[in-house]
Structure 1
Amino acid sequence: MVSLSFTSDTMSHKAVQVAFKKLKENTNLYLNDEEKSALRKAVHYGAYAHEKQIRKSGEPYITHPIAVAAILAEMRVDIDTLIAGVLHDTIEDTEIGFDDLVQEFNVDVANLVEAVTKLDKLKFRNFKEAQAETFVKMLFAMSDDVRVIVIKLADRLHNMRTIAAMSHSGQKRISQETIDVYAPIAERIGLKHMQKELEDHAFKALHPKRYQQIITGAKEIAGNRKKAIEKICKNIEKALLDASMVAEVSGRQKSPYSIYKKIKSKQLTLDEVHDLFGVRIIVQELHQCYLALGVIHNLYPPSENGFKDYIAVPKQNGYQSLHSIVTGPYGLKLEIQIRTENMDQMSEAGVAAHWLYKQKAAQSTASLNKVRNWLGSLLRLQADSGSSLEFYENFKSDLGLDEIYVFTPKGDIVQLPIKSTAMDFAYAIHTSVGSHAVSAVVNGEPATLSKVLETGDTVSIKTTKGLTVTADWLSVVVSSKARTAIRKELKDIKDEDALLLGHRMLDRALDTFGHSFEALDARTIKKVLNHYQLESMDDLLKSFAYGQLLPSIVARKLLPLMKKRKLDKDYQPKEALIIDGTEGSIVNYPHCCFPLPGDEITGYLSPAKGVVIHRSQCVNLLETLKDSPERSVKCQWNVDPSGMFKTKLMVDVINRTGVLANLASLIAAEDVNIVTIDQVDKEGGFSQLNFVVEVESKGHATQLMNRLQRHTEVLNVKRVYHEKNH
């Protein structure tokens, strides 16, 4: 146990006194005397613990945790959260331990400080992985106690306010993480003011010149439009009074980063950003929001598609307000926001405010439930993702997106990211609906699953049994839920394919050594699994198909001792691995040689791609096997292979009008699917047409080539082996 006197010369430093004064100003209005005394004790305790530490700015380190607590106090958080804010770095950076905090304060404070510390202790291979893991850790901490995240956000906000003291590379790294992780989380839990400030500090550090251009340009425009905005506010206030409504009307300006995002996404100049300024109206009662909207629209004409009702359908973070873009005097476009006082407080303090006092027995609100549901859906997505990085990359695009609201045929509202498709809707209803969806009906009209939806659409999905998910589906969806579900199903299919192929590969290897899978004993299997650090026989079998382990080597280890002693060093399998086209995504056919049934083939066990089937004389294969001959797999086609296989045909033609269309029609008439077409014009009125087509076999390809060769404008046809491109 650490013994502290609670006295420190640090407390007399001018910067510390200024920081402490700010904290007291922010807490005087809502803390009682006992809580003020506890906070004072925490500040002195922290000052003593951090006494020998100095910030990069040269100030005593304790100025940072005190400033973090002052930021938290602006949200009127409870006393335990304030104390944890003051002490959030003690466990990590000083000799103070968890038990010390319990003894001097309480378990709640100690738990909060320890939880914040855990977020900072992670070490990663690279920045992207660090971002992903940070996001996932914050997600889990938030699901347990959102105060941990609020402390961490306040910590990051103060670091961003003082980021100039960091190195240039450090500023860039921290700012990018702030934009990608911290600001979106602040937005999602409703801390709008914190989100905006985090974004603006990060934007300034990442793009200082662009930031200054926007600040200067917006200031000039503000000077020109200031009187117009003031006049609009007075007109609105008077019109509302005439309608017997007392309201607070104020002008506002878009934040620099919001302006930058709009300029970038819409390809605009600063002068073309029409909603640079807006008006916020705070009324007393809910029904007055809609009455006020009518008054505004009588004053200034609304823009088409410029109205959003976030009161009837709140955002996922609980945000509620009416938004309407109107045209004011002089053709000035501006956004009007109308909300009640409670809604305004929610937009500033966020749903997090419900948790900050940790009133667990308090009645849940609709907004609180929305965020809890959001957190629950995220945790389910994370569980279904292959890794934290995959989950983060999937979900990151959702974080900054606006939402659309569509309806089921029964009238239920479904919230989706903007630009979502009918397939996103299907997965939002249920994963099983998405994986069996074949088409949609949007507003009573038949539609494809790639149909982009808009707010107000009514959508139903038609399903069928027997569908197999393909990687192409990923290009149709935008929501993280759909992407995660599709990727998971693709992985499950691939794992199943790998299991079957791996079993065949091990059977073949054991047979070469005069042994069989059925004759393996449990003790030997367990020993081999432990050697390769695998959990089960299924994992071992899949590792063969994925090219991670060689079946010939593992088979030797699985043999009884007496058989091992009799083995020759050279491994020559008795039988070839039979390839019939039904192995699924686990077997790859490379574009260097486009092997077809009928070609002599050899497999290569690639650690990255699994089993790769080449033509036996493929130059790429022969070069690869020089360094890894043990990864060669003797293969042959099944007598009656299934499926379609790609091949490339190079067709030299006389360049005449319509020749490409004629040949494409000829190929289609042979029931052959064209995957890609490429045309290269040559001198003398000739062209080279390159077709990648899907055929059943080498014989089928030869038949098609003969048919093309008979065309009057075709000079020559041949199969192409791009052996250097693999």
Structure 2
Amino acid sequence: MEFDKAFHKFPAGYSVSDIEQIKKAYLLAEKAYAGQTRASGLPYVSHCVGVANILLDMEVHPNLVIAGLLHDILIDTNVTLDEIRTQFGDQVAKYVEDLTKITSLPQLSRGDQHPEERVPISETEGSSSTWKADTAAETLRKMLLAIGEDVHVVIVKLADRLHNMRTLKDLPPDRQKRIAQETLDIFAPLANRLGIWQIKWELEDLAFRYVNPEEYSKIAEQLASRRTKREDEIKIIIAELEELLRKSDVEAKITGRPKHIYSIYRKMLHKGESFEAVRDLRAVRIIVDDVETCYKVLGIIHMHFQPIPGEFDDYIAARKPNNYQSLHTTVIYKDGKPLEIQIRTWEMHYNAEYGVAAHWRYKENKTPISNEYEQKVNILRSLLSWSMDIEDSSESPEREQLDVLQDHVYVITPKGDVVELPYGATPIDFAYMVHTNVGHRCRGAKVNGKLVPLDYQLKTGDQVEILTANRGGPSRDWLNPNLGLVKSARTRSKIKQWFKQQDREQNLEHGKMIIEKEFKRLGIAQVDLNQYVDEFHVKTVDDLYVGIGCGDIPVGRLVNRIAETQRAPEPETIVVMPTAPAKVRPGATVTVMGLKGLATSMARCCNPMPGDEIIGYITRGRGVTIHRSDCPNVLRVKDKERLIKVDWGMEEKSYPVPLQIKAYDRQGLMADISNVISSEPVHLIDLSMNSRQNIVVINLEIEVGGISQLSRLLARLENIPNVIEAIRVKPG
């Protein structure tokens, strides 16, 4: 197949360089697919050319035409992604990589007429690839959008499906029906959402022909038998309306609106009417220059023809949420039959043609989705036309690149089912979404065949396999928000429910152990918990322990409350502003009771921080030094009159805290510790390390903002493999 004969006319905006790149991609595809054929016997590269020609008709960016030529080359040939990147650049390589991900989805039929698709569907294959039409198809449509971070990737996939539908006759009947049903369930609605009307109606009509051949033939025959008559009627109506508007000095373009077979069938089904009764088989569109003329035309139409009650919609004054604007009315024309009329300006027409007017809720009649998702799709629609005026597409990367579904990820089970999870979800969230018992017994996970930690954040397109134990339950660490092991509130609820069902004495002991461990780790002195009983809506301290043990009361919430209580300001207090540089740890947040203007500084012997019980010591000439209440130096003070009551104010600063980490030595330990520290909003001031008999002790000084921040850091450090404990060093 020669290049010049293979392609339609190239858009006028394409440069010589653009066409040369397309030719280079064509030659690469022709060479890579040499010897491969379609079911029809044609060379396989003819499919690649067909997809590219559909994209050329849409006048898309040349990079997309190249991606259309190479859309499945990574799967079907020995060409590598690096080769594509070297020859055509990063953008084309990203397109092809995303297209490969979509093609590889286990629940989607390729329809590319490879040898395995030229035989009837086996029983095993048939049972493994069925889905509930509404829910699963909706999820798959979202997943297609999510995988294609650039919406143009989905456009190429739609062009691929359209060409496969045009050549579907060469496959066995059962495959024809499956691929056609999939097209109606997924690809046609997706084209509708993106506003690509021409592809949308052609996909629907082609698919309907195979899904319901009897109804298709019946409607097609009725349309064919009346086509000449209907076209003659529309020509007369257009001529009469043009004359009517001309008499009123209105310039307008009037066109007939073709009705498609599947659209007619859906309307008949929805309204329970016969073919003869579907009123908008006759429809015209009137396009004028401005909004004022739209209403003038509407008045003229209603003056001369009887409007049908309930069939008028003003989408100009009250535009749809997706910015669609037009006047819709249906009138009884002078021959006594209904005529549907749309009136809009040229600007409204342009917006509608490019997808802003995709009122898919009515058209698809599928499960409603959130306004947030609708808004994201509306943004995508505005990107569908590529302006040839832009010389370099890299000038507007924010318009070209779009993460369309940031709030969810879509992952695949080993059986090929698609599971929707919140963004940031982990394998534990996935396990509980599959089944509660799978979640309880989860002990590890494989993503895309590789073992991953349980705090791994899943990405759209990941295939996830959960490794389970024969018995056992969840770990209490899963409920620790500092470890990031669980994202979903549903998962957290399931874990808490499991612990609630355990023995009260067991939860009581676990609660005591958790509090003791947390207090020790943070260096918090023993606190009378009776004062917090009412606040946490329990009757006794034991009930508080049980609540923490079963996960109903997060230990972090208790620790934060203790810190807040210990630094609550008194009414008579005066905030002392810092008078020394940050290096000296000024008491910017320390309140000195009943005194003004005193300079404050943090004692280096005990390094107090917000949440600690503190006391002030009046020095000679250096203001007040702030110590922890349990600081040995304070306890040894003989001149008790120099001690003064101080408290923490409300403003937060960073404070130095000494920490100690004990761990079994291994390669990469310090790198893991450094990664955790660098990922937290803290500052490492000092570090020293010594080891003995394979045990390493690491002493650090860290600047943190408060108890909750310190708690999260210590929890994450303790979660590093081989770490025995990570604690705050007590003074003295």
Q: TM-score, normalised by structure 2?
A: 0.49
Structure of larger gyration radius = 2
**Larger relative contact order (C-alpha < 8 A, sep ≥ 6)?**
2
Q: TM-score, normalised by structure 1?
A: 0.50
Higher helix share: 1
